[in-house]
Structure 1
Amino acid sequence: MQAEGPQTPSVLLLEPFYGGSHKQLLDLLQENVPGCCAFTLPAKKWHWRARTAALHFSQTVPTCSSYRVLFSSSVLNLCELVALRPDLARLKKVMYFHENQLVYPVQKDQQRDFQYGYNQVLSCLVSDVVVFNSAFNMESFLSSIPSFMKKIPDHRPRDLDLLIRPKCRVLYYPIQFPDVSRLLPKNKVLPRPEDMSLTDDVTDGVMRSEDTSLTDDLTDDVTRPEDTSLTNDVTRWQEEQQALRCVCDPPDSTSDQMAEPEDQRRPLHIVWPHRWEHDKNPELFFSMLIRLKQNCLPFQLSVLGETFTDPPEIFLKARRELEPHILHWGFLPSRDDYLEALCGADVVVSTARHEFFGVAMLEAVHCGCYPLCPKALVYPEIFPAEYLYATPQQLYKRLQAFCRRPDAARRHVVKVDTTSFSWMALRHRFETLLEAGRP
């Protein structure tokens, strides 16, 4: 597919997998950066796109003397393309990594197709600028190259990471956050910039150099003192109430129920807005909710996100077991309906085994949800420690506490400045990235 461009295009945008976040980024660039001309392939059969898109584009992209910059996602084998089209080799070549195949989770390492990661390494070698959507994405890729190349039986290349690193930079994925004020319940208040704790750490979409070392955060399995703030709040509340009433029992009287604030009476609304795939670890998420149900804790549930051909079996089982708690189940094709569901939720949970950025979590935070994320992957880079859990038991305790005190989640102002990840904040850096000339 070719998207319409200006009379004299200067930026050639190529996307072999035109769907999801890949599509959103390409559309943003084409709509807002002058001189862009886009060629795409539908977001189907990812493995075949990675194998064959270079040949397709070599035959379908016309020769154009006005091109100055080539921008592509890392699905494209750029090395093959510039070999097939020497006229494109002269351009400033920018590759954007939404994810990387060196650490992308597979059921068994033997199932990992060496060719996909190898192609990404080769593409980096011929690129002029290599851009990652997070520091975690960049560091996990670069640090994995030496061990990845050891899979080659003999005559292994060396120091490829040292050749690639000088070309690399982090530029966060730009999100177009809509105005959701009309959809927010009265109890939700969006954060103000002065409330944010990360404003100084996230500047123009690039983490400060001292923040790109994630080793401690990825391996630390100990809860810091500041992580216990919610537990302390609950303990104080329990002491004030003297004894927590069993939530399985109905109130003794209407007056007792009316004595509670409205925020406390409504059950906690938990949302899971991720793809229905194994790498998002739905098994862990649903095991937490089934445990909450078994302990008679009140909650409501919305399971959103896209469903593919063969979703994990846990979704069918979980729907049967959690049916009385379900408000929404399945992908909401209407953007307004999706945002309304997020605005109505109290807590958003990730149990991912793979996440290089996490658009869905940031969109939920933008809609006023309290985030609970693994203390791993990209999450320590974006979310303060109080929103991270290191073990399943920690996650359960946080959800349990919120079920007992839903108002604690509803009245909390999340300390994440989502505007730092907005297109308006990042636009200038993308425009600079796509300017003609060598880096």
Structure 2
Amino acid sequence: MLRIDLISPYHGGSHKAWAEGWQQSSRHNIKLHTLPDRFWKWRMHGGAITLARRFLAQNVQPDLILATDMLDLTTFLALTRRKTAGIPTAVYMHENQLTYPLPQDGRSGPMRRQLGERDHHYAFINVASMLAADRVFFNSKYHLESFFAALPNFLKHFPEHNELNALATLQQKSKMLPVGVQFGRLEGKNLAYQPNKVPLILWNQRWEYDKNPEAFFAALYAVAAAEHPFELALCGQQYGKRPSIFKEAIEKLGDQIIHVGHADLPTYRRLLWQADLTISTAHHEFFGISLLEAIYCQTFPLLPNRLSYPELLPSEFRDACLYESEDELVAKLTWALTHLNEIRKVQEMLATAVSRFDWQQISPIYDDTMRNLCQNL
């Protein structure tokens, strides 16, 4: 059994669910070193200093250090070099600051102070941390491939000694390692549950610009104008000021909305099992935990045929569940709202298919991967 120190400077949302899910299901002893999920830029600057100090204060020497992409691993290792010089290290890339999409208006989202322009410093922290690590893991094939597609132009941005040879070095030590999901916490479906008289659509993603809520509500407005009845539940995490489209939609859809705001676990579980459909219109998705949670609870998904979504669904379901354009989304949504018996058959089969992402299935893969990493260095 390994002692693994997992370092998570921005410990919330999917980062927290991932770390704690693996910790609870792993055969290894995993120690979490965390900071709260706020002030993300300061976490990427100062988090390494705080967590290095705490790391040095412990008496136990780990067999492996696994950091998330929000840690400046180079600073952490420099400050702890007396203890960490011989310890294998790895980085897990939940996201990255090179290909994360920027808002169109420059007045919202993570780059407000740069007026919508990407701050290359944070992307370089990612690159330097990856170079310092012995292994790099990406949460999806899409994430891995899109990052390495963008990296050459990023390095060419610098005036000289731009280290283009780093591309091959990083590719050699990078691989895809999917996220596990704690589906067990969603169990407890009410056996007395009856099908909805009116189809229920669920939004369970973050209330942020990169999830493209404008296109989501545009599709709902279109089917509402065609007089296809539905109800709507709006849950999911919110950070800071919500996009203005939510206020507009809440006023416009009015009585059709049965829930607004972040849901506690019992409410969230009930809404997942109650919902008939879930929709993504996202500009950005490196994995998709919330969509997998909905699918596991037998909610029919309509997802764009891009980003990480094709990886989540077996090939036989992609024609039914993936769309190419906003017009096709409206057409498929209209079909789903009017063919509930047909989509319920797909719901059950998809729920079984995505159970492969359960931590009970994924954790042994992680455990063996980390054991091999330590043995082969």
Same fold (TM over 0.5): yes
Cα distance in structure 2, aligned partners of 1:140 and 1:184: 43
Aligned to 1:209: none
Aligned to 1:74: 69
Bigger mean CA deviation after superposition, 86-95 or 106-115: 106-115
Aligned to 2:323: 389
Residues 296, 147 of structure 1: alpha-carbon distance in 2 compared, 3 angstrom cutoff: same
Shift of 1:9: 8.1
SS of the residue corresponding to residue 39 of structure 1 reads strand
Cα distance in structure 2, aligned partners of 1:332 and 1:116: 32
Aligned to 2:226: 295
Aligned to 1:216: none
Alignment partner for residue 166 of structure 1, among 165, 172, 188?
172
Shift of 1:429: 1.6
Alignment partner for residue 399 of structure 1, among 333, 337, 341?
333
Q: Which amino acid aligns with 2:84?
A: L
Cα distance in structure 1, aligned partners of 2:91 and 2:160: 29
Alignment partner for residue 42 of structure 1, among 36, 44, 53?
36
Alignment partner for residue 22 of structure 1, among 15, 28, 34?
15
Shift of 1:331: 1.0
Q: Within the alignment, does 1:367 sit opposite 2:297 as a pair?
A: yes
Shift of 1:186: 5.8
Q: Which amino acid aligns with 1:28?
A: G
Shift of 1:89: 3.2
Alignment partner for residue 347 of structure 1, among 261, 277, 281?
277
Aligned to 2:45: 51
Q: Within the alignment, does 1:85 sit opposite 2:80 as a pair?
A: yes
Q: Is the 8 A contact 2:203 2:234 kept in 1?
A: yes
Q: Is the 8 A contact 1:99 1:356 kept in 2?
A: yes
Cα distance in structure 2, aligned partners of 1:319 and 1:65: 52
Residues 315, 185 of structure 1: alpha-carbon distance in 2 compared, 3 angstrom cutoff: farther
SS of the residue corresponding to residue 363 of structure 1 reads helix
Aligned to 2:190: 183
Shift of 1:405: 2.6
Q: Which amino acid aligns with 1:402?
A: A
Cα distance in structure 2, aligned partners of 1:344 and 1:37: 36
Shift of 1:401: 1.6
Cα distance in structure 1, aligned partners of 2:294 and 2:370: 30
Cα distance in structure 1, aligned partners of 2:117 and 2:349: 39
Cα distance in structure 1, aligned partners of 2:55 and 2:276: 47
Shift of 1:181: 5.4
After superposition, the C-alpha distances for 1:227-247 in whole angstroms (9 at most, x for unaligned) are xxxxxxxxxxxxxxxxxxxxx
Quick check: which has more Rg, 1 or 2?
1
Cα distance in structure 2, aligned partners of 1:111 and 1:99: 18
Cα distance in structure 2, aligned partners of 1:49 and 1:381: 30
SS of the residue corresponding to residue 148 of structure 1 reads helix
Shift of 1:434: 3.1
Residues 184, 311 of structure 1: alpha-carbon distance in 2 compared, 3 angstrom cutoff: farther
Q: Is the 8 A contact 1:146 1:159 kept in 2?
A: no
Cα distance in structure 1, aligned partners of 2:191 and 2:280: 22
Q: Is the 8 A contact 2:295 2:350 kept in 1?
A: no
Alignment partner for residue 378 of structure 1, among 304, 308, 311?
308
Show structure 1 runs of 5+ residues with no match: 1-7, 188-262
Aligned to 1:97: 93
Cα distance in structure 2, aligned partners of 1:339 and 1:316: 25
Aligned to 2:111: none
Residues 322, 81 of structure 1: alpha-carbon distance in 2 compared, 3 angstrom cutoff: same
Q: Is the 8 A contact 1:185 1:344 kept in 2?
A: no
Residues 184, 353 of structure 1: alpha-carbon distance in 2 compared, 3 angstrom cutoff: farther
Aligned to 1:282: 213
Cα distance in structure 2, aligned partners of 1:66 and 1:121: 26
Aligned to 1:131: 137
Aligned to 2:103: 107
Shift of 1:69: 0.6
SS of the residue corresponding to residue 51 of structure 1 reads helix
Q: Which amino acid aligns with 1:375?
A: N
SS of the residue corresponding to residue 286 of structure 2 reads coil
SS of the residue corresponding to residue 232 of structure 2 reads strand
State the TM-score, normalized to the length of structure 2: 0.88
SS of the residue corresponding to residue 434 of structure 1 reads helix
Cα distance in structure 2, aligned partners of 1:113 and 1:366: 37
Shift of 1:91: 0.8
Shift of 1:183: 2.9
Map 1:243-282; keep pairs closer than 5 Å: 266-282=197-213
Cα distance in structure 2, aligned partners of 1:133 and 1:322: 36
Shift of 1:433: 3.1
Cα distance in structure 2, aligned partners of 1:9 and 1:402: 48
Aligned to 1:224: none
Residues 368, 158 of structure 1: alpha-carbon distance in 2 compared, 3 angstrom cutoff: same
Cα distance in structure 1, aligned partners of 2:343 and 2:361: 28
Shift of 1:411: 3.7
Shift of 1:438: 3.7
Q: Which amino acid aligns with 1:107?
A: P
Cα distance in structure 1, aligned partners of 2:187 and 2:6: 31
Cα distance in structure 1, aligned partners of 2:336 and 2:176: 35
State the TM-score, normalized to the length of structure 1: 0.76
Show structure 2 runs of 5+ residues with no match: 107-115
Q: Is the 8 A contact 2:22 2:180 kept in 1?
A: no
Alignment partner for residue 318 of structure 1, among 249, 273, 293?
249
Counting aligned pairs with the same residue, the percent is 30
Cα distance in structure 2, aligned partners of 1:182 and 1:312: 32
SS of the residue corresponding to residue 183 of structure 2 reads coil
Q: Is the 8 A contact 1:185 1:343 kept in 2?
A: no
Aligned residues: 355
